[in-house]
Amino acid sequence: MEKKKKIPGILICLLLLAVVLAIYYGTVYTGLSQKTALLEAQHAQNEQQLSDYQIQIAQKAQVQKAIADFQTKMKKSSQSFGIPASGLGEDLQKGFVSAGVTPLSVTMGTASEGKKTSSGKILTQVPITITADCTPDELTALLHYFERGTDAVYVVNSISAVSNDTQGGGKGYAVSLSLMAYYLAGAGS
């Protein structure tokens, strides 16, 4: 009789264990590692998005502060956009003095009313014509006053400058300015 070779039980157990491990690795472990990699990528993306949101929140606070500052400036500016307390005549005189210009004539036209604001003030405009002898520097200083030195708003419609140095005694130029003054008048002025 032939002797049957017996396979030891330990070898069969080891073989079964190897098969179970191969099946586990092929199905469970590979799937878990792929899902883990996907979850780690999503986690990194979520952390980046959270960081972006935190930056936007910080910027939002800065933008809100800038808006509040701008609204304060606008409110202050809208309150000062009126006829100067001294009146247009004295406001013009202040500009002439600060620029060192001696006007030859100042003509103010009739004030005309425009639109009414919600506070009841009326946008008013007055045409003004000025003639003077002045140097280019004095003219520049006067124009800067009209631009930044007063509460009223002046718009320069035209400037005419003719040299008068040859006539002797002139300051440099005979200047004619055509302006439009705008201010808010009426209720609450």
Name the nearest CA neighbour of 102 among 167, 180, 171, 177.
171
pLDDT of residue 165: 67
Contact between 117 and 88 (Cβ < 8 Å): no
Mean pLDDT (the chain) is 82
pLDDT of residue 173: 85
In the structure, what pLDDT confidence band is assigned to residue 168 with cuts at 50, 70 and 90? low
pLDDT of residue 50: 92
Q: Pairing between strand 112-116 and 153-163? A: unpaired
Element (H, E) at 77: helix 30-80
pLDDT at 189 over 80: no
Tell me: the pLDDT tens digits for 119-146? 777 888 889 999 998 888 999 999 999 8
Half-sphere exposure of 63 (CA within 13 A, CB side): 6
**What are the DSSP E strand ranges found in 16-152?**
102-108, 112-116, 121-134
Name the nearest CA neighbour of 133 among 81, 98, 175.
175
Q: Give residue 160's identity as a one-letter amino acid code.
A: S
Q: Record the pTM.
A: 0.52
pLDDT of residue 157: 92
Mean pLDDT of 76-80: 56
pLDDT of residue 171: 67
Tell me: the pLDDT tens digits for 86-124? 578 888 898 899 999 989 999 988 888 888 877 777 888
Mean pLDDT of 155-176: 79
> Alpha-carbon distance 8 to 13, whole Å?
9
User: Judging by beta carbons within 10 Å of its beta carbon (0-12, 13-18, 19+), is residue 178 exposed, middle or buried?
Assistant: middle
Tell me: the pLDDT tens digits for 8-52? 788 888 889 999 888 888 888 887 888 888 889 999 999 999 999
Tokens of 82: 């009126």
The one-character DSSP state at 100 is T
